[in-house]
Structure 1
Amino acid sequence: MPESPEVQALAEELRARLRSREVVSVDVLEFALVKTRARPPSRLVGARLEDVVRHGKYVDLVFDAAHLVVSLGRHGWARWASSQAEGPAGGNTPPALLSLGFDDGTVLEFTDAGEWVSLSAWVVDDPADVTGVASLGSDPTGPDFVRADFDAVVRGRRKQVKAILQDQKSLAGIGNAYSDEILFAARTNPVARASDLGEGDLDRLYASTLEVVRSAMDARRGIPIAQLKAVKIGAMMVHGRAGQPCPQCAGTVRDFAFAGTTAQYCPACQTGGVIL
């Protein structure tokens, strides 16, 4: 799932390449992804791109006539049409479900590699017209994010800390992968309730949240979008590394089921040896 560091890098590459370009064609191959049926993406033909920004895990293409807000969901991503041959290892190139052609010949394609379509798109006057954007919590990568913002959504809650980190209404932009990395860096049990954490635990969790997502955002900046997924995977300490040695101790990274997917942790570092 693309998270804030990768979506930010995507937004910056789209902005650099497409700003001031005019849309000359729009092709929707999967109409289920369009959530504003009265305002289909085809209405963007003739619009000029003014900016590309990120809201949590949403990418917002700002045109002079409207915003095209895209949620990449669990398996969505974007590519330049000329780079299709660079698809994932094994040649299983995901299909383009939405494409936009621009007046310089560039074609931007949004894809989805899942068994079900998680990609979504809205054409709106204001990104806040998208419910998911309007309800986003504070973004830990933002320069104005401070400890009070963190405490307001974490301190004292009886919810599991991993669930809080992934809750977009609490903290914007963090998903399964970076929540695993944050909790490992903080040496925190992912299923512990936030209300059970002491001051030292909260201090470490706050510091790790900032360090993990902000350093990842800096590290992804400037990497071509076709390479971002591989770079993200390669940078993970525990996420996606079940069965491998822990990078910090003599233990072994393990899987556990969480929110309909799998997550990873080190029992020796995070749970006092308890297997989740």
Structure 2
Amino acid sequence: MPELPEVEALKDFLTEHLTGHEIVRALPVAISVLKTYDPPLSALEGRTVTGVGRRGKFLALATDGGPHLVTHLARAGWLQWKDRLPDGMPKPGRGPLALRVALETGAGFDLTEAGTQKRLAVYVVQDPGEVPGIARLGPDPLADGFDEAAFAALLKDEHRQLKGALRDQSLIVGVGNAYSDEILHAARMSPFRLAAKLTPDETRTLYTALRETLTEAVERSRGLAAGRLKAEKKSGLRVHGRTGEACPVCGDTVREVSFSDSSLQYCPTCQTGGKPLADRRMSRLLK
């Protein structure tokens, strides 16, 4: 799933490649991708892109005096830039192509989604704030005003485990399954710790890990073409997706806890005092 660093890099890439260009065609290939119908997708055609913004994991394309094209790539969605789009109209089918946007230059991008669970979402709205998911977003962890005190205030009455709290977009935006693992590893904390139980020193440590992990990931992704972002994300991860490999900090074996539709990875030595975590349903350490 694209998370804050990748979406931020996509925003920068699209800002460079779209701003000042006219949208001549916007075609939904998978009709289920469209979550709004007024204004229609065709309202974007003939409009010039004036900027690209990011709201959490949402991308928002602004046009001159017209609507915004807002998208959330969900778990398996992606944006594929093409310097020259294929000629002709794309055909609806069972393939990954969900939506195509063409510019007057012949370039453009496709929104694609792999897998059978179709969660990629596209909205055409006058104001990005009209999108329900955006309206519910919490603060951005890389915003200038998001300081340690603001972070501590969010966790003060948060009686969930750290893993779930970090991933809650209504609490803090942009962090998903991968970077929550990375942040907790950097902070040397168990994903099962209760957020409200952190001491002030632990809160400071987690805040630092949050900001530094995301900032470093953004810097690694900055300037990369859209097609290289997935590989860059994977190469920079220390524990997420690395079950069975050696922890780069201590050398212990990275372990995994599986859920019904996802999993988390962690290092026992760095994060849980050397003890492997129990099954998620037990929510406690193995004795």
- Could you give the per-residue CA deviations for residues 197-226 of structure 1, whole angstroms, max 9, x where no partner exists? 222221110110010011111121101110
Q: After the TM superposition, which residues 259-270 of structure 1 pair with which residues of structure 2 at under 5 Å, given as runs?
A: 260-270=261-271
Letter in 1 for 2:257: F
- Could you give the per-residue CA deviations for residues 114-155 of structure 1, whole angstroms, max 9, x where no partner exists? 321121010011111001111111111112211122112112
Q: CA contact under 8 A between 2:62 and 2:69: conserved in structure 1? A: yes
Q: After the TM superposition, which residues 65-80 of structure 1 pair with which residues of structure 2 at under 5 Å, given as runs?
A: 65-80=66-81
Work out the CA distance in 2 between the residues paired with 1:271 and 1:28: 47
Work out the CA distance in 1 between the residues paired with 2:151 and 2:220: 23
- TM-score, normalization by structure 1: 0.93
Q: CA contact under 8 A between 1:138 and 1:145: conserved in structure 2? A: yes
Q: CA deviation at 1:26?
A: 1.5
Q: Determine the structure 2 residue equivalent to 1:90.
A: none
Q: CA contact under 8 A between 2:82 and 2:109: conserved in structure 1? A: yes
Work out the CA distance in 2 between the residues paired with 1:70 and 1:140: 20
Matched, 1:176 2:177: yes
Q: CA deviation at 1:247?
A: 0.9
Q: CA contact under 8 A between 1:34 and 1:40: conserved in structure 2? A: no
Gaps of 5+ in 2: 86-94, 278-287
Q: Determine the structure 1 residue equivalent to 2:186.
A: 185
Q: Determine the structure 2 residue equivalent to 1:131.
A: 132
Q: CA deviation at 1:21?
A: 0.8
Q: CA deviation at 1:258?
A: 4.5
Work out the CA distance in 1 between the residues paired with 2:43 and 2:249: 53
Q: Determine the structure 1 residue equivalent to 2:218.
A: 217
Q: CA contact under 8 A between 2:5 and 2:214: conserved in structure 1? A: yes
Q: Determine the structure 1 residue equivalent to 2:247.
A: 246
After alignment, is 74-83 or 121-130 more displaced? 74-83
- TM-score, normalization by structure 2: 0.89
Letter in 1 for 2:132: T
Q: 1:83 to 1:260 in 2, by over 3 A?
A: farther
| Two-structure CA RMSD over aligned residues (Å) | 1.7
Q: Determine the structure 2 residue equivalent to 1:57.
A: 57
Q: CA contact under 8 A between 1:5 and 1:220: conserved in structure 2? A: yes
SS for the counterpart of 2:230 is: helix
- Could you give the per-residue CA deviations for residues 205-264 of structure 1, whole angstroms, max 9, x where no partner exists? 011001001111112110111000001000001011000011111311011125730110
Q: Determine the structure 2 residue equivalent to 1:160.
A: 161
Letter in 1 for 2:116: E
Q: CA deviation at 1:275?
A: 1.7
Letter in 2 for 1:25: R
Letter in 2 for 1:2: P
Q: Determine the structure 1 residue equivalent to 2:11.
A: 11
Aligned length: 268
Gaps of 5+ in 1: 85-93
Q: 1:59 to 1:140 in 2, by over 3 A?
A: same
Q: CA deviation at 1:80?
A: 1.7
SS for the counterpart of 1:136 is: coil
After alignment, is 168-177 or 105-114 more displaced? 105-114
Q: CA contact under 8 A between 1:237 and 1:247: conserved in structure 2? A: yes
Q: CA contact under 8 A between 1:138 and 1:149: conserved in structure 2? A: no
Q: CA deviation at 1:196?
A: 2.1
Q: CA deviation at 1:272?
A: 1.5
Identity of aligned residues (%): 40
Q: CA deviation at 1:178?
A: 0.5
